[in-house]
Amino acid sequence: MKSYPQVSKSLWTTRQTRLSYPQLASNLTPTLRSNCLKQAAEAGSLLKRVELLGQSIALTALLLVTGITTANAYDPNVESYKLYSHMKLLDDKQYRCLVVLWRIESQWSPTAKNKKSSAYGIPQLLKMTERNPYKQIDLGLKYIAYRYGNPCKALDHHKKVGHY
């Protein structure tokens, strides 16, 4: 007695054809089948659920690889700002230093204002007039490169002095 369904087609033939939900469900135990039917009814279709699950797994993997967290739940755009800065730096160590530095300075908010100075935006640059967060990141990275060489040196300076 075999405990799993036998597939007579080759792997390539099976992968090329799409199985319908009833074909998939016939291979499940009655309990699993009823659970899947309930979930499929709620989601509209099993294939849509699988597609959404695949997309969320891919996004989670991307976030883990780039070191992005979801700590900034107040603004979903913060994650895209971090991803943009990571693409600009292309160095994981420098990116991690930048994340810490700008979290301390502005919590990655493009509208952050300093009460004690004219600093504004994500990088908290003095007399910043730029409102576009991606241009703020470009300006902040340009300033850090000019003044300190890299974000880790800027973070070290910030730890010593309280600003960069």
Q: Give the integer Cα–Cα distance in Å for 125 and 44.
A: 49
- The mean per-residue pLDDT over the stretch 151-161 comes to 97
Instruction: Tell me: do 40 and 88 sit in the same domain.
Output: no
Instruction: Tell me: do 90 and 130 sit in the same domain.
Output: yes
Q: What is the pLDDT of residues 66-111, one digit of tens each?
A: 554 444 445 778 999 999 999 999 999 999 999 999 999 999 999 9
Instruction: Tell me: do 77 and 119 sit in the same domain.
Output: yes
Q: Structural domain of residue 143, as residue ranges? A: 69-161
Mean residue pLDDT of the chain comes to 77
Task: Quote the pTM value.
Answer: 0.56
Q: Give the integer Cα–Cα distance in Å for 94 and 86.
A: 9
- The mean per-residue pLDDT over the stretch 7-14 comes to 50
| pLDDT above 70 (res 32) | no
How many independent structural domains does the chain possess?
2
Instruction: Tell me: do 73 and 31 sit in the same domain.
Output: no
Instruction: Tell me: do 74 and 155 sit in the same domain.
Output: yes
CA 146, chain centre distance (Å): 29
pLDDT level of residue 163 (50, 70, 90 thresholds): very high
Q: Give the integer Cα–Cα distance in Å for 63 and 112.
A: 24
Q: Is residue 61 assigned to a domain? A: no
In Å, what is the CA distance from 39 to each residue of 44, 47, 50, 66, 144?
8, 11, 11, 32, 51
Instruction: Tell me: do 74 and 146 sit in the same domain.
Output: yes
Q: What is the pLDDT of residues 35-70, one digit of tens each?
A: 656 666 665 555 565 665 665 566 555 555 555 444
Instruction: Tell me: do 42 and 98 sit in the same domain.
Output: no
Q: What is the number of other CB atoms lying within 10 angstroms of the CB of residue 155?
A: 22
Do residues 86 and 93 make contact, with C-beta atoms less than 8 angstroms apart?
Answer: no
| pLDDT above 70 (res 153) | yes
Looking at the DSSP bridge assignments, the partners of residue 120 are 113, 125
Instruction: Tell me: do 117 and 50 sit in the same domain.
Output: no
